[in-house]
Amino acid sequence: MYPLLRPLLFKLRPETSHDLVMNTLGLVSKSKQLTSLCAMLVGAKSQSRPAPTQSVQAMGITFPNPVGLAAGLDKQANACNALHKMGFGWLELGTVTPLPQPGNPKPRMFRLPEHQALINRLGFNSVGLTRFVNNLARADPEIIIGINIGKNAATPLNNAIEDYLIGLRGVYAQADYVAINVSSPNTRDLRNLQQHQALNQLLYALNLERQKLTDSTGKHVPLVVKIAPDLDRRQIDGIAAILRRNRIDGVAATNTTLARRSVEQHPLAHEVGGLSGPPLDDAATATVAALYQNLQGEIPIIGIGGIDSAQAALEKFQAGAKLVQIYTGFIYQGPRLIKAVLDALAPAAGK
């Protein structure tokens, strides 16, 4: 069905199309009958009960299948039930910030159809923690939920830790894991938090807070750090050491890229923001491989970036990813991409 809808949606501006789809899926998510119909229309099956050959154990969580939705699509936790019915093994929601904020001025999302790519500079547009958590209360409790947290744009970088602590406290009860976003290129200076001292201080503070929350709730929530693709090997190895030191449970590689090498002739290549889709694939896979060479499976890796086919997903797994996430490929191909990846993995999983 999506191949029929996409040409109509692509006649609209990218963010207008996005909002229309997410608002519709938000309405669908409020009705069990409509979410079941959604699954029938896209030809997907709910993945709430793990199939033996598809489930993956990572970070103490049983993921029904290894293909998740990347953060950035459902920023406000409105459409969980409908998205889950499309076949995702789990959903990562957000990025959510402590206080509501509009994000960057529009237009701030651009399609590069010739490259099956997107450029966005959304800038953590968020309804804020209170509304986000209220929205999330409508999600089916069987869905595995990761929640991606970030700082407000108005918060100075030297006060960023407090924003992340507020975020962790705010989502802890609802999250199966929490992803710490220090790699978006669309919030000023945010990527500076990937630098050695800043990252170490942030993760140390979050780990202390997590221990308090674990003690008070009896629930241990894994922490995942999401990093950029625009890092050299020395930086990646430094981050890996900090992840070990702070007992971080997972690493997501990668966020969007500032590089434009593969699209530099495109008329939109000059637009400020993060590039996603196939032009990111090689850099993201190289980052996964570098992390795996260092970590050797000690910390599971979520591979993200440029997955637009089963082959692209397999390359992430071969590089060392334990799980993968999709976003831009989903925009261009819809739920059939999930099915293609799972079908390709099924023979290997059955061996």
Active-site residue set = 184
Residues written for the chain: 351
d(CA 89, CA 55): 8
DSSP, res 77: S
d(CA 68, CA 60): 16
Cis amide leading into 254 (omega within 30): yes
How many of the other CB atoms lie within 10 Å of CB of 137?
A: 9
Nearest to 283 by CA among 231, 227, 238, 229: 229
Is residue 285 classed as helix, strand or coil in its secondary structure? helix
Q: How many CA atoms lie within 13 A of 186 on its CB side?
A: 26
The single residue listed with the structure tokens 């950035």 is: 72
Strands 90-96 and 223-227: unpaired
